[in-house]
Amino acid sequence: AQSVTQLDSQVPVFEEAPVELRCNYSSSVSVYLFWYVQYPNQGLQLLLKYLSGSTLVKSINGFEAEFNKSQTSFHLRKPSVHISDTAEYFCAVSDRFPTSGGYQKVTFGTGTKLQVIP
């Protein structure tokens, strides 16, 4: 069974300050890792993903995450946040191999609300 832990339910940070949102996962098999962002009253948008290769992955709006296999972590970072980054961020893990029905099970964390303070 796989699980995702996002220990911080809320992270307040001043505008232009750096931020790190923590994500740890557990799984008995190889995984894919994702970060999704959810703005108020909207669905989830894919922010970035790790499939294979370089352990550092980046999004187009300045976020990056690093896959650390030994620590089973996939923390999300941004060196300088903007007001528009205020949202809820969900870390998710997916098995590399599908179920018998062809479904690659995705498990989400409980989310971290990032509040950027002007």
Partner 1 sequence: DTGVSQDPRHKITKRGQNVTFRCDPISEHNRLYWYRQTLGQGPEFLTYFQNEAQLEKSRLLSNRFSAERPKGSFSTLEIQRTEQGDSAMYLCASSNTGGSTDTQYFGPGTRLTVL
Q: Which stretch binds partner 1 (CB under 8 A): 16-24, 66-74, 75-83, 106-114?
A: 106-114
**All residues at 6 or more sequence positions from 65 whose CB lies less than 8 Å from its CB, including other chains:** 23, 33, 35, 48, 50, 56, 57, 74, 75, 76, 77
Beta carbon nearer to partner 1, 34 or 67: 34
| Count of CB atoms situated within 10 Å of the CB of 62 | 13
**Contact between 110 and partner 1 per CB under 8 A:** yes
φ/ψ of 17, rounded to 5, equals -85, 160
How many amino acids of this chain bind partner 1 (CB under 8 A)?
Answer: 28
Q: Is 54 in the site for partner 1 (CB under 8 A)?
A: no
Site of interaction with partner 1 (CB under 8 A):
4, 9, 32, 34, 36, 41-46, 49, 51, 90, 92, 94, 98-99, 101-106, 108-111
